[in-house]
Chain A
Amino acid sequence: MSAPSSQTTDHSLDSFGDATASATRVTPGNALRPEDIALQDTAPATEAIAQYALRLGDDALVYSQRMAHWVSRAPELEEDIALGNITLDQLGHARSFLTYAGKKWDKTEDDLAYWREEEEFTSVHLVEQPNGDFAETIVRALFLGIYQHMVYTRLLESSDETLSAIAAKALKEVDYHLEHAELWTLRLGSGTEESARRMRRALEKLWPYVDELFQDEPLHDELEGIAPRPSTLREEWTARLTEILERAELSVPEVPFAMAYGRRGEHSEHLGYILAEMQVLARKHPGATW
């Protein structure tokens, strides 16, 4: 896992033998970095595309920010590495989506991350929820893992080449995140009485925030062929989740869905704290570079 380099970007280094290949035509296996996207000429063609990229970016960013708290606090050293890896990957996805979205408004990833107000964020409530115990973290990872896996898979077919390229890279990593969440769901669900009890409680606690993932917005009307409608993902998502939960001797809880409208800037009580922490230093030094 190498951190992004600050060297001058050379797309040809990352492509398979084709020195002239565009970074937007990245096949799975090629690395598309936020720095590459920043250098491209293409901005999102429409406001709807930029808004869509912003949503994916905000979800990944807030999720990564939450997950970062696990680093040096995991149940075992191997998990410190695994959770850190997920944190880093999600941040990478966020950077790519935000960089792309920002090009529509002449803003950088950092402009969007550090200088927007809470109501301008579009993250869903699920990613804003506290980490809770390890069971809650795993249940959220499972919900989100299946969801992101499906969204990014659909985006491979997107007529927007940049979205498709970012998704291709993200998909390989989310594939691993999902496997990690699934494995732990099995271990905890059929591990000890206590772990099963904690998993049932975590499912009940987080289930209310599932519904928001599948709500269509007016902007999706303008994204035909570009992005999937969230509502079309619901059936398969539920089937995949149910199958994993059954193997883990768990089940979908019977609790009502919450009214959650993060996409239109109405956030959980948690987001204010998350942003306060994330933005504090950058905002103390306006105009500074780091």
Chain B
Amino acid sequence: MAEQTTSGGHLSAVLSPEDEAGQQRFDAIIEQDSRIEPRDWMPEAYRKSLTRQMSQHAHSEIIGMQPEANWITRAPSLKRKSILIAKVQDEAGHGLYLYSSTETLGTDRDTLNDQLMSGRAKYSSIFNYPARTWADMGAIGWLVDGAAIANQVPLCRASYGPYGRAMVRICKEESFHQRQGFEILLELANGTEAQKKMAQDAIDRFYAPALMMFGPSDNDSPNSKQSMAWNVKRFSNDDLRQRFVGMIAEQVKVLGLTLPDPELRYDEETGQWIHMELDWDEFNRVIKGGGPCNSQRMARRREAHEEGAWVREAASAYARKQQMKEQVA
């Protein structure tokens, strides 16, 4: 695989005959809306772009465990505690599954992990917001997982086979997560005044950040066009966002609560949902590391990794010893 990255050389843009045949085959597969598999030839830019997207997704699952793990020990009923543990555990599973899928593109998990630790790789900005109250467990499930599902369902048809298949499995579990988040809010909304207030406050805080999870408007999203041409991305950021808003605008009525968006309306003419302007300056600030929890999330990840070093070394040493024993025997 490494050879492909340098094939053609740095000085010449002319493709070798192998690459040219590969490119033709790749184009045909994309044209037929069929699947690219790990052993297939693929353009270097495609490999790079997918590695970035898939590993970012994996990192988001891993970092996303933190705000929710924060509430496991304080969950207000044992049943809720149990559901929350199961949910966070699912996320670790998604991370693992996505790292494995990304590895099929030729970058191993240790390298991907290093990219996260060193800050070179990004993860979803939403997890840099704090989970301050129990109601945030509801808002994260309903809005954050809801936005993730809206993003990910079309990715089930992504042209890269391992990614699409990973998404099928992950989306199933995510819809369970969204439902349990909604249930948390529904219970609070029908509870005491204090509970209801807690629920509304969580929705107020997570609404805009959840909408920004779809990324900047397509006019400002440099990667979108290429990603759509490769059949990885199927709908524009704005399109997915307005569909999601439409969905939650209906669901919030069931809760008897409101979305903090006075401008929200359905436009009959265009058949689109219109929402308020989002604060992209804040979005960019969080991406650059200035969110409320960026430093905390990264520190926790690094700490866990560093404190686990002796354990991983011991496991490798033990495995080597066992191997030697087997060879002797």
Contacts and interface: CB of A to CB of B under 8 A. Distances in A.
Interface of A: 1-4, 6, 34, 61, 65, 68-69, 71-81, 84-85, 87-88, 91-92, 94-95, 98, 109-110, 113-114, 133-134, 186-188, 190-192, 194-195, 198, 277-278, 280-282, 285, 287-290
A195 B313 contact: yes
Contacts of A1: 86, 89
29 contacts: A68-B72, A68-B85, A72-B300, A72-B304, A75-B304, A75-B309, A77-B62, A77-B95, A77-B96, A79-B308, A84-B88, A87-B72, A91-B85, A114-B76, A134-B308, A186-B318, A187-B318, A188-B311, A188-B318, A190-B321, A192-B310, A192-B313, A194-B314, A195-B313, A198-B310, A281-B134, A285-B76, A288-B195, A290-B80
B192 A288 contact: yes
Contacts of B75: 281
A288 B188 CA distance: 9
A75 B308 contact: yes
A153 to B, nearest CB: 24
B87 interface: yes
A188 B310 CA distance: 9
B248 to A, nearest CB: 22
Given A80-B65, A278-B74, A91 B81 contact: yes
Contacts of B83: 3-4
B307 interface: yes
Prevailing SS type, chain B contact patch: helix
A208 to B, nearest CB: 24
Contacts of A287: 192
B151 to A, nearest CB: 23
B77 interface: yes
A113 B184 CA distance: 20
A233 to B, nearest CB: 27
B73 A191 contact: no
A113 to B, nearest CB: 6
B314 A280 contact: no
A277 B72 CA distance: 10
Given A4-B79, A73-B300, A73-B304, 7 more contacts: A3-B87, A34-B79, A76-B312, A84-B88, A95-B78, A133-B307, A194-B314
Contact of A81 (B93, B134, B187, B191): B93
